[in-house]
Structure 1
Amino acid sequence: MGYLMNGNGVTALQWPQTPTETTDVCDANSPLLATGELRVVNQIFQPYGLRRAFSGRVVTVKSFEDNAVVVEAIFANKLHEPNVLVIDAGGSLRRSMVGSVLAQMGHNMGWAGIVVNGCIRDIDEINSIDIGIRALGCVPVRSSKKGGGEKNVTVHFGGTLIRDGDWLCADSSGILVSNCELSVLGPTYSPILHKYGTNMNYEGSCYYTHTIADYTSPAERHRLFAAHFLDDLNFLPKYLPKSFETIQYLVGDSTTVGSVKLIKFPKGHPFNYMKNKVDEIDSDNFYIKYSTIEGDILGDKWDHIEYEVKIEPSITGSHFKMTGHFHPKKDVMPTEKDVKYGQEELKNIHKVAQEFLFLYPHLYA
């Protein structure tokens, strides 16, 4: 996983340029394939250019056998953003929409790649240029330049629609298009979706997922569940006073869906307070889902954070797993550091809590 620094010094996620990336993303996001949020472009395109794997935000152009609007679009990328130019030439095999001069200018202007529903030419020269290109084929005849065509429109080819502002990636296995940027952050993270700036029209559920705690405990699962969630307002401040000052319910109680509790942290703690809301709870099966909806732990990055906890039985006691779903604020692109911030202490809290349950076996027995 790499990172890019834009002109404002903001770190943005970059699709790793590996030949197996599209297959990994498809394997990990089968629900998105089913809903159409992640789409596969039919494998009718040939690869050209030195860069055989590329990705970026889509900029669309629609023009039949006339590339004047293509020239305009390539030169419009004045910030040198690593976008992907998608050209719908109506599938024409009679005229070339991109030659070596435009391909070189695309590289010079910072384009990550170009996808042409049509033909290109000057193949030998293009294959020596550091840019990724997909096209139906090649033809030596150049296009006209009368000035027709459209920019920033929705196009449809390769068995799917592609919107201006979508996210596209291509490698040796194929081409993917999604409503949001897709990425894989590493072995401790699942593939994620997040909004790409203000150009996204998609208002779906885009979030980061991170496994916060995953361990086996000698304590029975009903004891863990009681200490952390059913009687947390007593257990946590008493046994972990350096982490919790007080916990009180403002709405409902520990067993009520929709209940809201206020957690205050002691002096010297990096945070002052937070409010958590119970979204789902199944005490019989030791499952809870709750959200941090307010507090300085959210900072300027997160709108809210959802936590899912499931405690399963194990041979030695119980298996505790906690997953966090981090929902960023609008137009914010958090980094991996932002996702991990504050979560290390949460893991330590769970570790200390299970140690106390081990030392005091009568608690919640």
Structure 2
Amino acid sequence: MKDLLPDLCDYYAQDIRLLPLTLRDYGCNSPFWGQIVTLRCFEDNSLVRDLLSIDGSGKVLFIDGHGSCRRALFGDQLALLAIKNNWQGIIVHGAIRDVEILAQLPLGIKALAACPIKTDKRQMGENNVVLNIADTPIYPNDYIYADLNGIILASKALDLSVLKTEP
């Protein structure tokens, strides 16, 4: 099911919250969903590599780059690492790069924009923290659901079998 969110919003209206932020889809996999892992970093993706190096089965990494599009926090090499370690998707409140390659990889990817410039490497950032994006709290270990319609959040996993057609 490609249009997962409309049905989830209809069925779980009281259990979900919308992330009112327009992000572009860059990955090949849509829809995607999973348990949220959070990371806050500014123009430094050192900790992105560290997190993607661990098993991401059933997880989505949400990177808060403070909305900066001056440096790319995610690109093809990190995407390959994410796929190798079973991550379901990556959401970047900031920029990514290598967009043509990313569009062909089996990974859900959403970001504000593309930028060809790589980040600095200062080992700075915070993971497993509550993020606030577009006046919406993003809690570690909550669940995120994304497709071409947008992004919704839930405090617990939603049962997809209740939908008309399972994804």
TM-score where L is the length of structure 2: 0.93
Structure 1 residue 39 displacement after superposition: 0.9
User: RMSD over aligned Cα, in angstroms?
Assistant: 1.4
Q: Does 1:118 align with 2:101?
A: no
Q: Does 1:108 align with 2:84?
A: yes
The match for 1:55 is: 33
Choose the corresponding residue for 1:129, options 95, 99, 105.
Answer: 105
Q: Following the alignment from structure 1 to structure 2, what is the Cα–Cα distance between the partners of residues 163 and 31?
A: 18
Structure 1 residue 30 displacement after superposition: 2.3
Classify the secondary structure of the residue corresponding to 1:84.
Answer: strand
**Cα gap change, 1:156 to 1:187, in 2 (>3 Å):** closer
Choose the corresponding residue for 1:31, options 14, 33, 55.
Answer: 14
Q: Is the 8 A contact 1:98 1:119 kept in 2?
A: yes
Structure 1 residue 187 displacement after superposition: 6.8
Q: Does 1:172 align with 2:148?
A: yes
Amino acid across the alignment from 1:120: I
Q: Following the alignment from structure 2 to structure 1, what is the Cα–Cα distance between the partners of residues 163 and 117?
A: 48
Q: Does 1:44 align with 2:22?
A: yes
Note the alpha carbon deviations across 1:30-57, whole angstroms, 9 max, x for none. 233xxxxx11111410001110210000
TM-score where L is the length of structure 1: 0.44
Q: Following the alignment from structure 2 to structure 1, what is the Cα–Cα distance between the partners of residues 116 and 163?
A: 47
Classify the secondary structure of the residue corresponding to 2:61.
Answer: strand
Q: Number of residue pairs matched?
A: 164
Classify the secondary structure of the residue corresponding to 1:87.
Answer: strand
Q: Following the alignment from structure 2 to structure 1, what is the Cα–Cα distance between the partners of residues 23 and 141?
A: 21
Q: Is the 8 A contact 1:19 1:173 kept in 2?
A: no
Choose the corresponding residue for 2:60, options 84, 101, 124.
Answer: 84
Q: Unaligned stretches of 5+ in structure 1? A: 1-17, 33-37, 189-365
Q: Following the alignment from structure 1 to structure 2, what is the Cα–Cα distance between the partners of residues 160 and 76?
A: 27
Classify the secondary structure of the residue corresponding to 1:180.
Answer: coil
The match for 1:184 is: 160
Structure 1 residue 172 displacement after superposition: 1.3
Amino acid across the alignment from 1:21: L
Amino acid across the alignment from 1:102: L
Choose the corresponding residue for 1:150, options 113, 126, 133.
Answer: 126
Q: Is the 8 A contact 1:44 1:158 kept in 2?
A: no
Structure 1 residue 128 displacement after superposition: 1.1
Q: Following the alignment from structure 1 to structure 2, what is the Cα–Cα distance between the partners of residues 137 and 160?
A: 20
Q: Following the alignment from structure 2 to structure 1, what is the Cα–Cα distance between the partners of residues 154 and 134?
A: 14
Q: Percent identity?
A: 32
* Larger-gyration structure (1/2): 1
Q: Unaligned stretches of 5+ in structure 2? A: none
Structure 1 residue 186 displacement after superposition: 3.9
Structure 1 residue 121 displacement after superposition: 0.3
Amino acid across the alignment from 1:19: K
Structure 1 residue 24 displacement after superposition: 0.8
Q: Which structure dedicates a bigger proportion of its chain to helix? A: 1
The match for 1:19 is: 2
Q: Looking at both structures, which has the greater relative contact order when contacts are Cα pairs under 8 Å and sequence separation is at least 6?
A: 2
Q: Is the 8 A contact 2:47 2:123 kept in 1?
A: yes
Q: Following the alignment from structure 2 to structure 1, what is the Cα–Cα distance between the partners of residues 151 and 27?
A: 15
